[in-house]
Each structure stands twice: as C-alpha cells, then as structure tokens.
Structure 1
Amino acid sequence: MTGIRALTLVLDEPSSIASALRDALGWTIESDFGSFASLTAPGSIPLWINAPAPGEDTSRGIVIHLHCDDVDEAFQQAVQRGALTVREPIDMDFGERSACVRIAAAPGITIDFSRPLG
C-alpha cells in the first residue's frame, strides 16, 4: 500500500473555495472545473474540492494541519489576505507552536499552521 495521494473535501461551490484558499494561503490552483477543483501547497499533496452529490452532506469539522517553518509569519500572511483568526500563534503544552485560521468561503474547515518546538 502507498501513501495518501490527495485529500478531498466535499463543499459547496468548489471554484469559489479554491479561489479563496489560493488568495488567503498562496496555494496554486492546478485545475478548476466548477464542480471540482484541485489545489496544491508547496511540498504537499493535492487538496481536491468536490461539490456534493445530490443528498450528500458537505465536509465539516475538519482541520488541515500545515507544517510551517515560521508559524507566526504564515498566520500573519493568511490574516492579511483575509483569513479569519481562530487562534493566534501560541506554544502548545504538547510541544508544538500552532495558530489557526478559517476561510469564510470554506465553512467547517480550519487551517492549522504548526511546527514542533525546539
């Protein structure tokens, strides 16, 4: 068995969400077909966004953890680009520096910028 090829979120309006993630996080949109979009962050697997099938729920309560060399800088850039603050940068008791944001266009999804301490 191999590793994870991509992560898919089922969300309304994939094109709008892909654009919002690109704008707030600086990711690259690889493809956008309206009901499906694919984005990548440097050194990461693709994030695919699919529109829900009839009767299918959208993704909720998901945290996407991004490794960052400079959590504070990544957080500030995202907020300056329109991301909403969930948690400002802080050293967590389990040995990580972490900060979280949300993107208004992607309800139910939290982006966590983090790195190990030390």
Structure 2
Amino acid sequence: MAIRAMTLIMDDPSRAVRALSDVFGWTIESDFGRFASVLPPSGIPIWINVPGEPGATTAHLVVHLATEDVDADAAAAVSRGARILRGPVDMGYGERSAVVEVEGVPGVTFDFSRPLA
C-alpha cells in the first residue's frame, strides 16, 4: 500500500497552493477555491480543503522534505518567502535538518532533512 495523497485542511486553499508553489516551486494541479491541489517532485499530491466545521483547521503538522542539501534548499525557500524556524543544524539522532513555515499555510511546518553521512 502506498500513500496516494495528503490532505491539509486550510481556511484558504487557493492561498495555500500559491504559497507552496511560490516557496517550493511545486506545480499547482487544480484550484477550485474550496479545494486545491499541488504536486511536489515526489509525485505525492497535497490536496487542500476548507474545514468541515468552523475552526477545524489542521495544526501541528510537519511535512518532511527529503533533500541532498538542507542548507541550500532551506535558504532558497527563505529567499522565496518562507520563515526559518530552526537550523540548518545537525540533530542528535543523525539527521541534518532545517524547519521553515510558509505564510498562507498556517499550522504546518516544513522540515528539510537528510541523514548525516
């Protein structure tokens, strides 16, 4: 069994896919206002829906982004509008990591990471 997609619940799906496309260079697949989809290079789409109930937005979600160069990819995201939250730093559990947040995608952080050699 493979992961088909990941759904984020956001108040403004259109804003979220534009922000993800702007910051990470991901491809916007669709944008219908209340539903939008963006495709990262991994091929696993991120679907974004409005909340089912008022205030029922996703929070405390980390999307892990595999990369060969944590420092360069985090710096590139920051140069395109992301805000650095941590790192780049070597973690005690054998990973190099940098965590960013993207305006327009509230409650979600993005972790650029790779195993240490």
Into which bin does the TM-score normalised by the smaller protein fall?
over 0.9
Q: What is the one-letter code of the residue matched to 1:24?
A: V
C-alpha displacement of 1:106: 1.2
C-alpha distance in structure 2 between counterparts of 1:69 and 1:6, whole Å: 23
1:84 matched to 2:83? The reply is: yes
Listed as ranges, the gaps of 5+ residues in structure 1 are none
Number of residues of Structure 1 aligned to a counterpart in Structure 2: 117
- TM-score w.r.t. the length of structure 2 is 0.96
- In 2: Cα distance, 1:20 partner to 1:92 partner: 28
Identity %: 52
Which whole-Å CA distance do the structure 2 matches of 1:47 and 1:84 have between them?
21
Q: Is the partner of 2:63 in helix, strand or coil?
A: strand
Worse-superposed segment, 58-67 or 35-44: 35-44
Cα separation, 1, equivalents of 2:20 and 2:39: 10
Q: Deviations over 1:26-85 (max 9, x none)?
A: 111011111111111112311110011234600000000000011111100000000011
Match of 1:3 in 2: 2
Looking at structure 2, the residues matched to 43 and 100 of structure 1 have their Cα atoms a distance apart, in angstroms, of: 19
Partner of 1:22, secondary structure, is: helix
User: So what's the TM-score if we normalise by structure 1?
Assistant: 0.95
Rounded Cα–Cα distance in structure 2 between residues aligned with 1:105 and 1:94: 31
Q: Paired residue for 1:111? A: 110
RMSD over aligned CA atoms reads 1.0
Partners of 2:54 and 2:111 in 1: how far apart? 30
Partner of 1:39 in structure 2? 38
Stretches of structure 2 that go unaligned for 5 or more consecutive residues are none
* Distance in structure 1 (CA, Å) of the matches to 2:88 and 2:113: 9
